[in-house]
Amino acid sequence: MPTAPAVFDEMGWPDQIRAPYALVDAWLKSIPAEQLALKRREAEVLFRRIGITFAVYTEGGDPERLIPFDLIPRVMAQAEWQSLSKGLEQRTRALNAFIHDVYHDAEIVKAGRMPERLVFNNSEFRAEMVGQDLPHNVYSHIAGIDMVRTGPDEYYVLEDNCRTPSGVSYMVENREVMMRLFPDLFRKAGVAPVAHYGDSLLQTLRSVAPPNCEGEPTVVLLTPGMHNSAYYEHAFLADEMGIDLVEGADLLVKNEICYMRGTDGLTRVDVIYRRIDDDYLDPLVFKPESMLGAPGLHFASRAGNLTLTNAIGAGIADDKAVYIHVPEMIRFYLGEEPLLQNVPTHDCSNPEDLAYTLAHINELVVKAVHGSGGYGMLVGPHASRQETEDFVAQLKARPSDYISQPTLALSTVPTFVESGVAPRHVDLRPFVLSGEEIRIVPGGLTRVALREGSLVVNSSQGGGTKDTWVLER
């Protein structure tokens, strides 16, 4: 195994505590171990009782599992967050401009700044969307930008999630639980609140009401149903916004107008926050056998009677091959230099990049272009010989389905583990809301890889979460 590069611990634990963590450090040192153990159990009971669970598809056992929650918060100073959030705003504006362009004149392709095949041969390209205008030209209303940190001032965007990013309920509920467990700590800390996420989301969704909407728009959240792994989040968000949580069967489209079926008749629906993939959204346009969506949603949207958020086809902006070109998008559409860096990435569809990837396979992270959730990915330094061989075979068979990146030394934050407190790698998913304006709730979801040395933070792969603090001062 190659020697591990120096890892940046965000707290400076154990003996070089960085300023933003001073209070957390003092708190950790003062609180007796038994009391912490008690609080950890209490947290678990709270999560169970509230029902904050998620389903894991591939394993047996309890179908409703908890994502492990770690009590030690992840802390960012106000200045750190300010620069990050400016970068997030810039990036999201460019991503939306790109999606709009792709479904209109494709100027970026014409200008030779983006390879044509990445757009028009992309399985996420939705020809149905060509020429369709959307309120404020926004396609990805809710975007989750995955960030990692490698040093005090070094951040990288790992990937953009422009379709239906999840996890925001954990951001809000983690805070809720922390505040219930440690009210004293919060009184001293001055942490920027996150509880208004639901309000911001509703404002965003209302601001993109379709042109033919009269009066106050009716907004609903469309869920695939309670067997979906993120069902808790769907219910949570609908609740936070005070809107109806609907399933496909509750909706119907008549004369290109969308309605929901109630005990008191049909109510017109103006904006749908859909948590269903494009493929299942409208059986008239996509998978005809889908029972999850409702026939005609796309046509209602085209007729200006309905806004679907996120828009159909927004996924064109978030595959891992397009990712390589996001900095270029920022320059092209905004005429600005990117504030956030990309991870240097090799596109294996290029022969040189493929050759480089194969030669350095033990040092690189290789990812499927369309994979997500930590599936279809090889972490070279940590993979067994067999895993590597299997992966290389797939990579050689379809090189254009893969990209590779250096294995970053992700920052760590101290975390409770069996043996006590130890550093564990983290990432950050802030949620960017785009409508009439851009809104970002301070912080985001911090995911932590609970296994020692592991870099995979996905909840489906044994990751946990932490409360994320942005200090007000």
Partner 1 sequence: MLARTASNLFWLARYMERADYIARLLQVAGRMSAVRVDDAEDNSEWESAIVAAGCDETFYEKHEVANSETVISYLTFDRDNPSSICNCIETSRRNARAVRTALTSDMWEAVNSSWLELREFETAEPMSEDRLTEFLDWVKSRTSLVHGVYANTMLRRDGFHFTRIGQFLERADNTARLLDVKYHVRLPSAQDVGGVVDYYQWLAILRVVGARRAYRVLFKGQVEPSQVAELLILRPEFPRSLVFCFEQITLNLDAIVAHDPKLSSESKRIAHSQYAGLRFGRIEQIIEQGLHEYLSELIEGCEHLGAEISNGHLF
| Residues lying near partner 1 in the complex (CB under 8 A) | 48-51, 225-226, 231, 235-236, 238-239, 243-247, 249-250, 260-266
Residue 440, CA atoms < 13 Å, CB-side half-sphere: 25
Q: How far is the CB of 53 from partner 1 (least distance, A)?
A: 10
Q: How far is the CB of 50 from partner 1 (least distance, A)?
A: 7
Q: Of 211 and 262, which CB lies nearer to partner 1 in the complex structure?
A: 262
Contacts for 459 with CB less than 8 Å, ≥ 6 apart: 54, 67, 447, 465
Q: How far is the CB of 242 from partner 1 (least distance, A)?
A: 8
Q: Of 64 and 277, which CB lies nearer to partner 1 in the complex structure?
A: 64
**111: burial class by Cβ within 10 Å (0-12, 13-18, 19+)?**
exposed
Q: How far is the CB of 181 from partner 1 (least distance, A)?
A: 17
Structure tokens at 230: 């993120």
DSSP letter (8 states) at residue 54? B
Query: Per-residue b/e over 411-435, b at no fewer than 16 CB within 10 Å?
Result: bbbbbbeeeebebbbbbbbbbbbbb
Q: Of 56 and 311, which CB lies nearer to partner 1 in the complex structure?
A: 56
Residue listed under structure tokens 């309000």? 199
Q: Of 51 and 151, which CB lies nearer to partner 1 in the complex structure?
A: 51
Within its chain, how far is the Cα of 73 from the centroid?
A: 19
Q: How far is the CB of 238 from partner 1 (least distance, A)?
A: 5
Q: Of 57 and 337, which CB lies nearer to partner 1 in the complex structure?
A: 57
Query: Do residues 236 and 169 touch, judged by C-beta distance below 8 A?
Result: yes
Q: Of 22 and 50, which CB lies nearer to partner 1 in the complex structure?
A: 50
Structure tokens at 456: 């995979």
Q: Of 50 and 130, which CB lies nearer to partner 1 in the complex structure?
A: 50
Dihedral in degrees, nearest 10, Cα atoms 372, 375, 376, 380: 110
Query: Per-residue b/e over 284-293, b at no fewer than 16 CB within 10 Å?
Result: ebbeeebebb
Q: How far is the CB of 240 from partner 1 (least distance, A)?
A: 9
Q: Of 69 and 231, which CB lies nearer to partner 1 in the complex structure?
A: 231
Query: In this structure, is the dihedral angle defined by the CA atoms of residues 421, 422, 423 and 429, taken in order, positive or negative?
Result: negative
Q: How far apart are the first and last CA of the chain?
A: 42
Contacts for 115 with CB less than 8 Å, ≥ 6 apart: 109, 325
Q: How far is the CB of 247 from partner 1 (least distance, A)?
A: 7
Structure tokens at 208: 């993109």
Q: How far is the CB of 94 from partner 1 (least distance, A)?
A: 35
Q: Which helix (H) or strand (E) holds 456?
A: none
Q: Of 75 and 246, which CB lies nearer to partner 1 in the complex structure?
A: 246
Q: Of 195 and 226, which CB lies nearer to partner 1 in the complex structure?
A: 226
Q: How far is the CB of 250 from partner 1 (least distance, A)?
A: 6
Q: What distance in Å separates the CA atoms of residue 181 and residue 191, rounded to the nearest whole number?
A: 15
Q: How far is the CB of 246 from partner 1 (least distance, A)?
A: 6
